[in-house]
């Protein structure tokens, strides 16, 4: 994806030289060094998009489950396939980004359509997978009461959703666009104010009974 609000454009080049590689077994060994500190937590696979390495995730998360370690997957839902379903067999919790429900905005906003994201959400509901929804609120884009209301209403039938996270847009990654000589799609857009974040939270709370933060 090429999300307009991305603060990690340095992860976009999938052909960039790899500085360090690990096998699933090597990564598990690293995790086990800290097992005593994560008794109430677990392992979260994030990115970029972790499902671009689905084969690795299948093996690594399987090994984690054998060790009794809670597993979480932080994903945009842009990839949805049989391999992804296999990954979910070893995943205890999914943190799913929903960028926007607006089909036309989604394409220009992220570089992808939202077909797979919706299919991913529906499948998580079908298999009763505990899910947290993460939604970035950007001034002039998704910081819109109508769009926020439509998203909140859209999510109400999904009983597997345990939490909504409202993520305010920030500008901490804007320097990277200059360093990489990339155009910044949100040049000049101010960070979301605390008041507008509270407004978004209140809209979700009207329709959903899970925690909204």
Task: Identify the pLDDT of residue 109.
Answer: 87
With b meaning 16 or more CB within 10 Å and e meaning fewer, what string describes 167-190?
bbbeeeeeebbeeeeeebebeebe
| pLDDT band for position 108 (cuts 50, 70, 90) | confident
Write down the pTM of the prediction. Answer: 0.93
Q: Is 90 exceeded by the pLDDT of residue 143? A: yes
Domain count, the chain: 1
Answer yes or no: is 64 within a domain: no
Of 24-28, 52-56, 179-183, 188-192, minimum mean pLDDT range: 179-183
Residue 2 has pLDDT above 90, yes or no: no
- For residue 139, is it within any domain? yes
Residue 116: inside a domain? no
Confirm whether 118 is domain-assigned: no
Q: Is residue 45 part of a domain?
A: no
Of 137, 130, 138, 103, nearest to 117 (Cα)?
A: 103
Please, which residues have CB within 8 angstroms of residue 191's CB and are 6 or more apart in sequence? Answer: 139, 168, 169, 170, 171
61 domain residue, yes or no = no
pLDDT score at 26: 97
Tally Cβ neighbours within 10 Å of residue 47.
15
Q: What is the mean pLDDT of residues 146-165?
A: 98
Domain membership of residue 81 (yes or no) is: no
Q: What is the mean pLDDT of the chain?
A: 94
CA distances from 129 to 67, 89, 94, 160, 180 (A): 20, 9, 7, 6, 38
Residue 190 has a pLDDT of: 95
Q: Which residues contact 73 (CB under 8 A, 6 or more apart)?
A: 44, 45, 50, 51, 57, 61, 87, 88, 91, 93, 94, 95
Inside any domain, residue 91: no
């Amino acid at each position: 994806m090429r999300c307009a609000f991305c603060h990690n454009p340095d992860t976009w080049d999938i052909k960039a030289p790899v500085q360090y590689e690990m096998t699933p077994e090597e990564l598990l060994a690293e995790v086990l060094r800290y097992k005593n500190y994560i008794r109430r937590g677990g392992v979260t696979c994030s990115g970029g998009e972790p499902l671009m390495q689905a084969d690795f995730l299948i093996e690594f998360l399987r090994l984690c489950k054998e060790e009794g370690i809670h597993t979480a997957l932080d994903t945009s839902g842009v990839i949805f396939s049989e391999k992804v379903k296999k990954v979910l067999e070893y995943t205890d919790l999914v943190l799913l980004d929903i960028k926007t429900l607006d089909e036309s905005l989604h394409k220009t906003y992220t570089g992808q359509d939202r077909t797979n994201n919706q299919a991913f959400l529906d499948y998580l509901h079908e298999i009763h997978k505990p899910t947290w929804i993460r939604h970035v609120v950007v001034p002039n884009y998704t910081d819109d009461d109508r769009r926020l209301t439509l998203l909140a209403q859209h999510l109400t039938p999904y009983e597997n959703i345990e939490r909504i996270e409202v993520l305010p847009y920030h500008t901490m990654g804007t320097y990277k666009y200059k360093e990489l000589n990339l155009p910044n799609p949100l040049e000049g857009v101010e960070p979301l104010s605390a008041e507008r974040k509270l407004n978004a939270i209140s809209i979700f709370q009207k329709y959903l009974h899970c925690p909204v933060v």
